[in-house]
Amino acid sequence: MPKKFTFRGGVHPAHCKSQTEHLKIGNFPAPAVAIIPLSQHIGAPAKPLAAKGDRVLVGQLIGEAGGAVSAAVHSSVAGTVLSVRPFPHPSGRLVNAFEIENDGTDEAVPFEPVEGTWREAARGELINKIAESGIVGMGGASFPTHVKLSPPSHKPIDTVIINGAECEPYLTDDDRIMVERTEDILTGVQIIRKILDVKNVFFAIEDNKQGAINAVYDRVVGSRFNDITLAVLKSKYPQGGEKMLISAVTGRQVPRGGLPLDAGCVVHNVGTALTIFEAVAKGLPLYKRVVTVAGANVRMPKNLMVRIGTPVKTLLDACGVDVKAAKKIVMGGPMMGFALSDLDVPIIKSSKALLVLSESTAAVRKYPCINCGMCVGACPIRLIPSRIAKFVEKDNLDDAQKWNLMDCMECGSCAYACPAKINLVQFFKLGKNKIAAMKAAEKKAG
């Protein structure tokens, strides 16, 4: 087995994956009414292609990409469009969305893979199919995948890293697809390799996922996938961050203010590789995804294949969650996820998990900073979080930027390590929002 890779900094929260790590992925029924937002990705919202009263089918394109950085949106049910209007979104905003009443037929559009085989297809044909399928980063970032697969010519790429770290506690959706859909993921990786024409491909998995490691190892050794290198990572948070993966696996550093492209690398989540395979080889657009439901007061924790647009409350009820006994429902993991204020919001493309926090969870008291430096040691990108937080607290945004606030990836390692229990990430998000608002006002005035 290969050596184990790691990076400087980070923290070691309890894994808390035992509830679901050995549970096979089940299929969750399609919702009676699907709420499908036009904004499920980084970039411009999709433009609606259906209207109230229209009948749509499973997999039908109902929203076209609204700009260069945008993604298509497809229906996850067959039925009638009841409305296209603002609905509550997991982000806490109101976002334009389709309200579609499921007619129970599950009638689908014809799914059309690329002509011939993917090996024979031209690079542009593969990218177009991925764009048409509405694929975004499935690790939670939701950046449109076809854009990521089209790097500018002046940024040569020689390395692809497939992210199977899944370093956040509780989450097991990536782990399960690596065990259950190994060959399909590896084929997706080969499609990515063909598109980017790179010489190095690493499949990175944390060492607390032995089943996934074994599944990948068994298939890459002496097989048609032997051009893919398995990279076993030491379990540490945030090992799944792009910059951390690149540092651990290649030893390269993404420059401050830069992107993985600046280090000659592209990173894709294992779920993204799987959806690429399904789009190219089967013609399936992205209208469903795997979601982990776990945490306190979850009587039946599960990994489920869920249709996009399924209300969160429907999923929680099916897993035996007593919502009244829950202190907080988080979409995503405990480190980088966000609390939901409305349980009628839908599952979207970036919804990796629903985490239920118990009412018995103790409240955390904040104490004054003692300048111990624990946050500095934990920060994986070598910032000084305590100093930046103080600048933001005093509304000194100029100095916050000089101390590289905008490089913060909001992983929460600093807050986790802080003995004073200061919510440092809250200050960083606040500072970034203020800077963005200030720049927008300057642009409008100038």
Residue 153 lies in a domain: yes
- Alpha-carbon span 373 to 390, nearest angstrom: 14
Residue 55's H or E segment, with its range, is: strand 55-56
- Alpha-carbon span 440 to 446, nearest angstrom: 10
- Alpha-carbon span 300 to 287, nearest angstrom: 24
CA Rg value for the chain: 22
Domain end position, chosen among 282, 311, 340: 282
Could you say which DSSP state residue 80 is in?
E
Residue 368 lies in a domain: no
Encode burial over 170-184: b for 16+ CB neighbours within 10 A, e otherwise.
bbbbbbbbbbbbbeb
Q: Is the domain of 382 the same as that of 276?
A: no
Residue 21's SS3 state is: coil
Domain end position, chosen among 227, 249, 282: 282
Domain end position, chosen among 262, 282, 302: 282
Q: Is the domain of 392 the same as that of 243?
A: no
Residue 261 lies in a domain: yes
3-state percent breakdown (helix, strand, coil) of the chain, nearest 5: 30, 20, 50
Residue 102 lies in a domain: no
Residue 305 lies in a domain: no
Tokens 């995503």 belong to residue: 332
The pLDDT profile of the chain, 446 residues, written as one tens digit per residue, is 456 899 989 999 999 999 999 999 999 999 999 999 999 999 999 999 999 999 999 999 999 999 999 999 999 999 999 999 999 999 889 999 999 999 999 999 999 999 889 999 999 999 999 999 999 999 988 999 999 999 999 999 999 999 999 999 999 999 999 999 999 999 999 999 999 999 999 999 999 999 999 999 999 988 899 999 999 999 999 999 999 999 999 999 999 888 999 999 999 999 999 999 999 999 999 999 999 999 988 999 999 999 999 999 999 999 999 998 888 999 999 999 989 999 999 999 999 999 998 866 555 667 889 999 999 999 999 999 999 999 999 999 999 999 999 999 999 999 999 999 998 999 999 999 999 999 888 888 87
For 141-257, list the strands marked E by DSSP.
Answer: 159-164, 200-206, 229-233
Output the pLDDT for position 443: 84
- Alpha-carbon span 246 to 167, nearest angstrom: 15
Q: Is the domain of 248 the same as that of 387?
A: no
The answer for residues whose C-beta is within 8 angstroms of residue 180's C-beta and 6 or more apart is 24, 25
Output the pLDDT for position 358: 82
Could you say which DSSP state residue 323 is in?
G
- Alpha-carbon span 377 to 98, nearest angstrom: 46
Residue 43 lies in a domain: no
- Alpha-carbon span 79 to 66, nearest angstrom: 24
- Alpha-carbon span 360 to 26, nearest angstrom: 30
Tokens 């894709």 belong to residue: 268
Q: What is the CATH number of the domain that holds 127?
A: 3.40.50.11540
Output the pLDDT for position 176: 98
The answer for residues whose C-beta is within 8 angstroms of residue 363's C-beta and 6 or more apart is none
Closest CA to 298 of 277, 273, 317: 317
Q: Is the domain of 147 the same as that of 265?
A: yes
Output the pLDDT for position 158: 97
Tokens 């032995």 belong to residue: 210
Residue 171 lies in a domain: yes
The number of folded domains in the chain is 2
Q: Is the domain of 402 the same as that of 259?
A: no
Q: Is the domain of 247 the same as that of 140?
A: yes
pTM, two decimals, is 0.94
Q: What's CA 117's distance to the chain center, in Å?
A: 29
Range of the domain at 396: 374-445
Residue 258 lies in a domain: yes
